[in-house]
Structure 1
Amino acid sequence: MTLIKSISGIRGTIGGTVGSNLTPVDAVKFASAYGSFLKTTVQVDRKLKVVIGRDARISGPMIHNLVVNTLVGLGIDVIDLGLSTTPTVEIAVPLEQADGGIILTASHNPKQWNALKLLNAKGEFLSGADGAKILELAEAEAFNFAEVDDLGIITENQAYMDIHIDEVLALPLVNIDKVKSKKFKVVVDGVNSSGGIIIPKLLEEMGVEVVKLYCEPNGHFPHNPEPLKEHLGDICKLVVEEQADFGIVVDPDVDRLAFISNDGEMFGEEYTLVAVADYVLSQTSGNTVSNMSSSRALRDITIKHGGNYQASAVGEVNVVELMKATNAVIGGEGNGGIIYPEIHYGRDALVGVALFLTYLAGQDKTVAELRASYPQYFMSKNKIELTPQIDVDAVLKLIFEKYQKEQISTIDGVKIDFASEWVHLRKSNTEPIIRIYTEAPTQNAADVLAERFVTELKSIAGI
């Protein structure tokens, strides 16, 4: 069982002992720290206001009630969206003129996990400095709760998934009429969470025929919720059986997006951002950003359209920071996360779906043909489970010393750029693992490179 406290929030497994898992006590303590942080940093002449939403995890209602009422106990008003998505909460915070937001979701982690993801008044993830202050407050447990006449008030608002859809459809680069004219048929895997409600609803608004797979928001994930090829056999098969134009897969909180091509093959979650960026850049000149673990294909597409590409450290807050600094018109992460500043600075599967459909409607190509038109890179994504005895920093330092004659970056772990391939080694912010990402011109070359570094890391770490 695990509890991970980081500057981006608190994430852990449900049950077990306090301080080692995400127990009710830990949820209350961390919500108290976040609320206390807002009370000491936000200067307003009214009660503070926080927006809260959750995904459909089994533990969601329990964690939700604990967090909401902890904020009420601190004298903070709560706008309760109930069942929602991460990007929906991000949009709601500024629309509600709130002082922050909390999304209760462990994103792509299995059902035994849950988490508190924390937002600022812009509906964006907190900075590292602010996250560190919240961790300090949680450690000190110096909380000052409100007296009875000053308790917060809960206001329920379940309209925000519809508002989110309306905001997406109002984007200038989304062409509903063009999409409707194509009469697309799409299979949706909502992994029995919030995406099973909001993605079909968006598609139907765009005139798309929807075939639903695992769209019951009961929190019983029918497969590992991370949208990777090895977890998606059912939808790959159903896309072919239904003769659908393509398939859509989202993670439980709907900030990651993967497509299945019409032939039942993975479009590749790395290429979600590539395709959407290709469309955006064809209409709006500008720059792009992705993280260091993302495909070189985005760089190639950006150069084709006359823009500049830059890579940030892994983590949405890092991507957003670099996007703002470079005035990027589109960006995101290679895990299928689309960040389109025209609507908000957060990964948003709805935005990705609407822009991709509009782009596809203007192409005389199938989804498989569109995928084949892009630069061909292949990735291998692996991980090594960590034990408390392993000094990850020391292990990565030895790797750096061994390969220091290569083109190498230590902005985030160690990334080594070889002539035609690369490897990125880094400690995860959300799980007790080292991630090993490789990319090469063929799948075999990417797999071989990954196996080589997995072996080297295990040898150095003594695993």
Structure 2
Amino acid sequence: MKTINAQPDGRFPGRDPEPVEATLGELRSLVRAADADLGVAHDGDADRAMFVDETGSHIEGAAAFAALAAAELGPGETCVSAVNVSQRLVDVVAEADAEMALTPIGSTHIITVIRELLADGETVPVAGESNGGIFFPGYRLARDGAYTAARFLELVANQPASAVIAPYNDYHNVRENLHHRNDREREVMLEAAAQAARESDATVDTTDGYRLDYGDSWVLARPSGTEPIVRVYAEARDPDRAADLAEWMVQHVTDARADARR
């Protein structure tokens, strides 16, 4: 095992503590140079884990989560995730004949729903978000980056990491941030998203904003909890489909914003 930035320092001099592709260049280079089987990156408090495959390529958090969930879920069991859950995980849950429970974005919401489901006698073997924060409630009801890394290492014991996540690579995401000036604009924009949902033939979830599921794709409009922004997300296997869904929702929301500014 080789480590980078393993000396505790709350100033994080080695890299930004957020383990995203843009901050993991040194890890990716080391994986290639060392001919390693896997690279693991943690955030500042190490409750999340992100991965680099044996070629030095970044593994998307949604793909890693899907691979872990596929290894855990069985018929009738439940996976808990946030409302911006990837289509990858939706497909894994369907293939396992399991159930999906959606929550508002944030780990505390996920913990609350896990507790409720367990109290009702449901089985929740895995839960989490695509940012590397995964729960294995049978182990402990908290995110644990080291344990997540250990579980992912089990998956790569008999095949390369690139092969483990290969079934979950062919998905395309679009994300747009739409700014608003005040609460009135925000409400008008969200009402436009609600109207789009009412006019659609999708399955609509209003857990946190408006998520429209079409079976093979989805689009979500939700307000940021920290910035004056309405976020629009879309995902599909077909990149054109993802782009079209995002554009359709963005058009509804920005048209309403423009009307509010007149």
TM-based fold match above 0.5: yes
**Aligned partner of 1:383: which letter?**
N
Is 1:415 the counterpart of 2:211? The answer is yes
- Distance (whole Å) between structure 2 residues aligned to residue 224 and residue 433 of structure 1: 24
In the TM superposition, what is the alpha-carbon distance from 1:398 to its structure 2 partner?
Answer: 1.3
Residues 210-359 of structure 1: pairs in structure 2 closer than 5 A: 210-213=2-5, 216-220=8-12, 224-281=16-73, 286-324=77-115, 325=117, 326-359=122-155
**Aligned partner of 1:276: which letter?**
L
8 Å contact kept, 1:390–1:461:
no
- Distance (whole Å) between structure 1 residues aligned to residue 2 and residue 95 of structure 2: 34
Is 1:405 the counterpart of 2:199? The answer is yes
In the TM superposition, what is the alpha-carbon distance from 1:443 to its structure 2 partner?
Answer: 4.4
- Distance (whole Å) between structure 2 residues aligned to residue 227 and residue 384 of structure 1: 25
Structure-1 residue corresponding to 2:231: 435
- Distance (whole Å) between structure 2 residues aligned to residue 270 and residue 221 of structure 1: 28
Cα RMSD (Å) of the superposition?
Answer: 2.9
Residues 187-226 of structure 1: pairs in structure 2 closer than 5 A: 209-213=1-5, 216-220=8-12, 224-226=16-18
8 Å contact kept, 1:300–1:375:
no
Distance 1:422 1:303, change over 3 A: closer
Q: Percent identity?
A: 25
In the TM superposition, what is the alpha-carbon distance from 1:304 to its structure 2 partner?
Answer: 3.2
Structure-2 residue corresponding to 1:425: 221
The DSSP-based 3-state class of the residue aligned with 2:18 is coil
Residues 39-50 of structure 1: pairs in structure 2 closer than 5 A: none
8 Å contact kept, 2:87–2:236:
no
The DSSP-based 3-state class of the residue aligned with 1:334 is coil
The DSSP-based 3-state class of the residue aligned with 1:212 is coil
In the TM superposition, what is the alpha-carbon distance from 1:224 to its structure 2 partner?
Answer: 4.8
TM-score under structure 2 length normalisation: 0.81
**Aligned partner of 1:286: which letter?**
E
Q: Which has the greater radius of gyration?
A: 1
**Aligned partner of 1:399: which letter?**
A
Residue in structure 2 matching 1:370, options 164, 184, 188: 164
- Distance (whole Å) between structure 1 residues aligned to residue 95 and residue 254 of structure 2: 40
In the TM superposition, what is the alpha-carbon distance from 1:303 to its structure 2 partner?
Answer: 3.5
**Aligned partner of 2:29: which letter?**
K
In the TM superposition, what is the alpha-carbon distance from 1:340 to its structure 2 partner?
Answer: 1.3
The DSSP-based 3-state class of the residue aligned with 1:416 is strand
Q: Deviations over 1:285-304 (max 9, x none)?
A: 83211111011222332343
In the TM superposition, what is the alpha-carbon distance from 1:233 to its structure 2 partner?
Answer: 3.4
Larger RCO of the pair (alpha carbons < 8 Å, separation 6+): 2
The DSSP-based 3-state class of the residue aligned with 2:70 is helix
Structure-2 residue corresponding to 1:461: 257
Give the stretch that moved more between structures: 389-398 or 256-265.
Answer: 389-398
Q: Aligned pair count?
A: 252
Q: Deviations over 1:301-327 (max 9, x none)?
A: 234334322222322232223323243
In the TM superposition, what is the alpha-carbon distance from 1:248 to its structure 2 partner?
Answer: 1.6
**Aligned partner of 2:214: which letter?**
F
8 Å contact kept, 2:54–2:160:
yes
Distance 1:215 1:454, change over 3 A: farther
| Uncovered stretches (5+) of structure 2, i.e. residues with no partner | none
- Distance (whole Å) between structure 2 residues aligned to residue 390 and residue 223 of structure 1: 39
- Distance (whole Å) between structure 1 residues aligned to residue 164 and residue 102 of structure 2: 25
Residue in structure 1 matching 2:174, options 380, 404, 410: 380
TM-score under structure 1 length normalisation: 0.48
Q: Deviations over 1:116-170 (max 9, x none)?
A: xxxxxxxxxxxxxxxxxxxxxxxxxxxxxxxxxxxxxxxxxxxxxxxxxxxxxxx
In the TM superposition, what is the alpha-carbon distance from 1:331 to its structure 2 partner?
Answer: 0.8
- Distance (whole Å) between structure 2 residues aligned to residue 375 and residue 285 of structure 1: 26
Distance 1:247 1:327, change over 3 A: same
The DSSP-based 3-state class of the residue aligned with 2:156 is helix
